[in-house]
A and B are shown apart, each in its own frame.
Chain A
Amino acid sequence: MSDHDITQTGPLAPEDVTADSPFTLPGFFDALGDGRLLAGRCTDCGTHLVPPRPACYECGSRAVTIEEQPRTGEVVSYTAVHRPPSPFSDLAPVTVAVVELDSGARLTGRVTAPVEEVEIGSSVAWRARDPDEVGIDPSAHLPYEEDWPVHEFELTR
């Protein structure tokens, strides 16, 4: 396939499942590093899949396409991780939330605000960061994850 043909819809041929395809994690994180958050979108039932994958978990269809996601959304649920895994110790307590983007796609991520400032329904926007700049211990990364950005949410209000 041509590079980043994000209009492609499955079923995928074996040779299409490569590290530059957004249906794989390397392709997904390459796009995130370029400021684009990509979801799979089932063309049969409309379900969003983050990160993208070749089959819809809701209905089983492999007619999944790639859809670029909006920046903004709302908090569906949230908490604070008082004792996070050791690579995140410097960030404790870590506020995390499930966010529904304006498209309807959902993903979990860190929120940069203290938990006291977050509510269900809070407006947020995502951005991609270098995990080392965020303060996550580099020992957390597997070798193939080292160049992957990490997303986070900011309160927008």
Chain B
Amino acid sequence: MTDAHIAAVGTSPLGWTDLPGRDLFSRALAETFADLPDPAEVVDALYVGAQSERYENQIMQGTLLAEWAGLQNRPAERVEACAAAGALALKNAVRDVRAGVHDAVLACGVEKMTAGGTEGATNALAAAFERALEQRSGITAPSQYALIARRYLHETDVTEADLAEIAVKNHRNAAANPRAMFQREVDVETVLDSEYVAPPLKLYDCAPVTDGAAAVLVTSERLAADLAADSVRVAGVGTAANALAVAESNLTYLEGADVAASRAYEDAGIEPGDVDVAEVHDAFTVCEAMLAEAVGFAPEGRGVETVRDPAERSPGWTDVHINTSGGLKARGHPIGATGLTQAVEAYEQLTGRAGDRQIPDAGTALLVNEGGLADAHTAAHVLTGV
């Protein structure tokens, strides 16, 4: 098996922009290939994660983005699992390179979420949940996660103020991330005083609606060396689909995330305690706490200590630093691109390019990208420095 490496990364600005999806992709691609030959000289195939055609009334995103990158007659296809789409594009690219099918595959993601306004985004996102009984009851993404959060708070001693601290921590991290949508700190009162979207979740517990694109070049180890690229190794991959309906989900433990991360750890030959930095899917603050528990960083019920310095956490916690990018909450959450923006942060941490948010000696990273209700779909990757 050939080792797969990430040889280069790029993102568009993340936020509310005047650029349509294909142009956001062009921005990301321009960064990825700034120091490389033209994409047509390097890339054998392309995968694109895109959540919904409702935003821009455009499917065939594989063909479109390949066209915009100058990649005629290459294999190019869209993958979809709501917000896990970006990591699925990465997973497919890694699979193809490892299998020797291709030497270089472009994993990209794009979402133009603001195209239909808040109402358009609400309706498009609601399609990620079970249709027959749950959508027809008037649910939304925040309300589905609120049902998890309510039960989690009920069964643990975690409070809304504890969850608010996760938003505060992620805004603080984003303030040091030039790619982030919200490069500003917030205080805990701001979070707690924000309006309820679906109690116990408030506006500042929720990741924002974000326009954005990301492009990650996955190559064989040999091609990364030939390109003189500063690369990182994709050491482990694991995915798992769990229940679609919230009524059928385990409301307090994200079993699907546990399974996906365990597969990635096993593939990489590591343990949770080996992970230095992790980007986990904090679509809502409660998710970061629950994912820290599910992927083996924290004891059950103590995931909220993600905000603490590693030395000040409860016994059973690892020393991992979580969401150094600012997470979905503050870096931004362009649905189909999010899994790849996680990879971009890990790439920067593992290559020493993370500036003021650099974790010293970061050598191993975990990415956890989820789609639908929490662990309805989880895609996990382990990356290591070389």
CB contact under 8 A between A78 and B147, given known A85-B126, A96-B137: yes
Q: B234-259 vs A: 1/0 string, CB under 8 Å? A: 00000000010111100100000000
Identify 7 residue pairs between A and B in the complex whose beta-carbon atoms are under 8 Å apart, listed by A's number.
A77-B148, A86-B122, A96-B137, A97-B147, A98-B147, A108-B247, A120-B154
A120 to B201 Cα, complex, angstroms: 16
Do the beta carbons of B138 and A91 come within 8 Å of each other? yes
- Which residues of B sit under 8 angstroms from A152, Cβ to Cβ? 137
| B68 touches A (CB below 8 Å) | no
**Nearest-neighbor residue (CB-CB) of B129 within chain A:** A108
B38 to A: closest C-beta gap in Å: 44
Q: Which 5 A-B pairs have the closest CB atoms?
A: A79-B146, A88-B138, A94-B138, A77-B151, A81-B143
**Nearest-neighbor residue (CB-CB) of B251 within chain A:** A77
Do the beta carbons of B198 and A120 come within 8 Å of each other? no
B188 to A: closest C-beta gap in Å: 22
Do the beta carbons of B133 and A51 come within 8 Å of each other? yes
**Which A residues contact B (CB, under 8 angstroms)?**
25, 28-29, 49-51, 57, 76-86, 88, 91, 94, 96-99, 106-110, 115, 120, 131, 136, 140, 145, 148, 150-152
Do the beta carbons of A83 and B137 come within 8 Å of each other? no
A52 to B258 Cα, complex, angstroms: 27
Q: How many A-B contacts if CB must be within 8 Å?
A: 110
Do the beta carbons of A115 and B199 come within 8 Å of each other? yes
Do the beta carbons of B137 and A150 come within 8 Å of each other? yes
B120 to A: closest C-beta gap in Å: 9
A115 to B122 Cα, complex, angstroms: 21
| B309 touches A (CB below 8 Å) | no
A81 to B126 Cα, complex, angstroms: 12
Do the beta carbons of A78 and B150 come within 8 Å of each other? yes
- Which residues of A sit under 8 angstroms from B119, Cβ to Cβ? 86
A51 to B244 Cα, complex, angstroms: 12
- Which residues of A sit under 8 angstroms from B197, Cβ to Cβ? 82-83
Q: B125-159 vs A: 1/0 string, CB under 8 Å? A: 01000101111111110110011101100100000
| B123 touches A (CB below 8 Å) | yes
Do the beta carbons of A79 and B150 come within 8 Å of each other? yes
CB contact under 8 A between A85 and B138, given known A98-B147, A107-B133, A120-B150: yes
A130 to B21 Cα, complex, angstroms: 40
**Nearest-neighbor residue (CB-CB) of A116 within chain B:** B199
Which residues of B, 19-68, contact A by the 8 Å Cβ criterion? none
Do the beta carbons of A85 and B147 come within 8 Å of each other? no
